[in-house]
Structure 1
Amino acid sequence: MEIFKNTYELDNLSYAIDKYFDKTTLFFDIECTGLSPRKSFIYLIGYATRSENTVTITQLLAANESEEIDIITEFENVMSGYDKLLGFNSTRFDESFIVERCRKYNFNTKIKSKNHMDMYLKTTKARCLLDLPNYKQKTIEQYLGLNRDDKYNGGELIPVYEKYSQAGDLESKKLILLHNYEDVQGMIYITDILAYPDLFNSQLRYISHELESNKLRFIVETDIAIPNSINKQRDYGLYIIKDNRIYVTLDLFDGELLTFLPDYKNYYYLINEDMIIPKSLGESMDKNSRRPAKKQDCKVKKEGQFLALPEKIDIGTTRLFKPSYEAKEAFVDVNDITPNLLLKVVRYMLKH
């Protein structure tokens, strides 16, 4: 087994790196001779640690299968000093592979006892924001502006490793170390992608809003500054996320709409007059001219300007207006707009 160490300084401490990559966190990535842990073995484990602004990337290289247990044992010794693990597609692949290989050696791995976060799984929760063609590590690296020297993927490196293992080819050794090093370093770099799913549960602060012709424009601030801006068009409006601010433009409607009273059971519907009256007033009327009101009967018309809402959004007790009882479109009176309502709209827009 050979051990290689490289150290470098972080240029800046972004929100995500500071949150997810602290002194208790171990980034890791493995390289294998195939996808099946029963038919192939781990030949390289790379991991990264952080101390203030200094990152150290360590690589454990097995010259052949007989040294696999050596690199696993060394990694287990290192892992025992850390509370959290961070990797990419690592819960489904790296962790499972290590568990299966340890089973072969009757080795009791600690990996399942760690707080293990898979960056791939967390990032895919922000699909509605990112709209990437896929969520592979290299795709995310390119999205965030990282260009790596390594041009191989894990599968393409298998014959390269075999050439090193069988013939001691130094160029092959250099290539496999470079690939793993850039995988680990790349994971650290793309930690910034975790800012996007974190937006969903971040604190939002209302800044301001204004009505302009048939548009409502408002600004919301978050605690998270995202690395790349987001611009999303929806049927009812659009939003732009830049740094730690969200700029929203929503459509307004001018005209007449209906709101429906929730306490319809307290009313009678007058059949010949297409109107409702409270039951206390209608008890003395001819029973043939009235009937118990239904939900769709208890409507109140209003002329004015209204804010179009996203479909199925829950805005609590705020009055809703619609073109008809059956209509899916929903609106609120501009006079009922509050900062809290606008924050609910933003949260909904981010997740849909």
Structure 2
Amino acid sequence: MEIIEYSYDIDNISYSLDKYFDENTVFFDIECTGLSPRKSFIYLIGYAVRLGNKIAITQLLAKNEAEELEVLEEFEKVICKYDNLLGFNSTRFDEAFIVERCRKYKFNTAIKTKHHIDMYLTTTKAKCLLDLPNYKQKTIEEFLGLHREDKYNGGELIPVYQHYSLMGDNESKDLILLHNYEDIKGMIYISDIMAYADLLNSDIRYLSHETDENKLRFEIESSIDLPNSINKIREYGMYIIKGNRIYVTLNLFNGSLYTFLPDYRNYYYLINEDMIVPKSIGESIDKSCRRPASRQDCKVSAEGSFVALPKGFDVGNTRVFKPEYNSKEAYVSVTDIKEDIFIKITRYMLKH
């Protein structure tokens, strides 16, 4: 087995890097000769640890299958010193592969006892924000602006490794090491992608709002600073996220709408007057001129500016207005919107 070591300094410790890659965490990535741990073996494990602003990357390279156990044993010594593991698609693939290969050698590994964060699974929780074509590591790297030298994937490097194992040529070895090194360095870089999933449940606060003839605009501050901006258009409005600011624009309707009273059973509908009155008043009116009010009857007209709401959005106790009782479109009056509604609308838009 050969051990290859590198180190480099990080100029800027981002939110995600600081949260997820502390000095008690090991980034890791494996390379193997196939997808089945029963038919294939691990020929390379690369891992990274952090000390302040310095990142140390180590690669454990097996010349052939006979050296695989040595690689596994060395990696076990490393992870026993740390509480946390971090990788990309690593809970379902890398960890499972290591466990199966250790079982082959009747070697007990502590890997499943570690707190393990899988960046792939975390990132897919933010699909509502990201809308990427897929959530592969290279796709996320490109989204965040990282362009790597390595052009291969793990499957394409299997024959390269087999050639290296047989011939021992340095060109094949360099290609293998470069791919794994850039995978690890890329994972460290794209840890920033986890900020998008964290944003969905982060602390946010209302800053300000303004209206014009047909738009309501408001600004929200988040506790998380995103690396790349996001903008989404919905039928009822849009939002833009830049850094730790969320700028929301909602469509306004100017005119007359109805709010419907929830206690309709307490009213009579006066047939000739097309109006409702409380039952305490209506009891004195001839029965032929009145009937129990329905939900549709108990409406109050209001004139003003109204914000279009997302379908299914719950505004709690705030009055809701509609063109008609059965209308799917729902609105709230601009005058009724308070800070908690701005926050609630923002959270809904981010998650849908």
Same fold, TM-score > 0.5, yes or no: yes
Match in the other structure for 1:23: 23
What's the counterpart of residue 261 of structure 1? 261
* Corresponding residue of 2:192: 192
Looking at structure 1, the residues matched to 157 and 348 of structure 2 have their Cα atoms a distance apart, in angstroms, of 44
- Partner of 1:299 in structure 2? 299
Distance 1:80 1:265 in 2: 69
- In structure 2, the residue matched to 1:175 is 175
What's the counterpart of residue 348 of structure 1? 348
Q: Normalising by structure 2, what TM-score?
A: 0.97
Give the whole-Å Cα distance in 1 for the aligned partners of 2:162 and 2:19. Answer: 39
| AA partner of residue 40 (structure 1) | S
**Alignment deviations for residues 296-349 of structure 1 (CA, whole Å, 9 cap, x no partner):** 221111111111111111111110001111111111111101111111111111
Shift of 1:275: 2.4
CA apart distance, 1:23: 0.6
Q: Which residue of 1 aligns with 2:122?
A: 122
One-letter amino acid matched to 2:37? P
In structure 2, the residue matched to 1:91 is: 91
Partner of 1:273: 273
User: Equivalent residue for 1:336?
Assistant: 336
Structure 2 letter corresponding to 1:21? F
Distance 2:265 2:4 in 1: 77
Query: SS of the residue aligned with 1:122?
Result: helix
- The corresponding residue for 1:40 is 40
Partner of 2:56: 56
Instruction: Give the counterpart letter for 2:348 in structure 1.
Output: Y
Distance 1:294 1:100 in 2: 67
In 1: Cα distance, 2:81 partner to 2:280 partner: 75
The whole-number CA distance in structure 1 between the counterparts of 2:269 and 2:223 is: 52
**Aligned match of 2:219:** 219
Task: Measure the CA separation in 1 of the matches of 2:291 and 2:96.
Answer: 67
Q: Residue 232 of structure 1 aligns to which amino acid in structure 2? A: K
Q: CA shift at 1:279, angstroms? A: 2.1
How far does the alpha carbon of each residue in 1:17-58 deviate from its partner, in whole angstroms, 9 at most, with x for none?
111110111111000100011110111001110011010011
Provide, for residues 195-218 of structure 1, a one-character-per-residue CA deviation record: whole Å limited to 9, x for no partner: 111111111111110111111111
1:321: which partner in 2?
321
Q: Which whole-Å CA distance do the structure 2 matches of 1:117 and 1:291 have between them?
A: 63
Partner of 1:308: 308
State the SS of the aligned residue for 1:301.
strand
How many Å apart are 1:274 and its aligned residue? Answer: 3.0
> Where does residue 74 of structure 2 map in the other structure?
74
Q: Deviations over 1:144-197 (max 9, x none)?
A: 111111111000000000011111111111110110010000000001111111
User: What letter is aligned with 1:49?
Assistant: V
1:9, 1:174 → 2: CA distance?
A: 22
Q: Which moved more, 1:270-279 or 1:206-215?
A: 270-279
Unaligned runs of 5+ in 2: none
Aligned to 1:14: 14
Deviation at residue 290 of structure 1 after TM alignment: 3.3
The one-letter code sitting in structure 1 at the alignment partner of 2:320 is: L
Moved more, 34-43 or 125-134: 125-134
For these two proteins, the number of residue pairs brought into alignment is: 352
| SS class of match (1:154) | coil
CA distance, structure 1, for counterparts of residue 189 and residue 341 of structure 2: 36
Aligned residue number for residue 162 of structure 1: 162
Instruction: Please state if 1:137 is matched with 2:137.
Output: yes
- CA deviation after TM superposition for structure 1 residue 288, in Å: 4.3
Alignment correspondent of 2:111: 111
Q: How far apart are the structure 2 equivalents of 1:288 and 1:79? A: 85
Runs (4 or more) in structure 1 with deviation over 4 Å come to: none
Deviations 1:103-133 (A, max 9, x none): 2112222111111111111111111211111
Q: Paired residue for 1:150?
A: 150
Once superposed, what is the RMSD of the aligned Cα atoms?
1.2
2 CA distance for matches of 1:83 and 1:296? 61
Percent identity among equivalent residues? 70
Q: What displacement does 1:293 show?
A: 2.6
SS of equivalent to 2:249: strand
Compute the TM-score of the two structures, normalised by the length of structure 1.
0.97
Residue equivalent to 1:244: 244
Amino acid corresponding to residue 178 of structure 1 in structure 2:
L
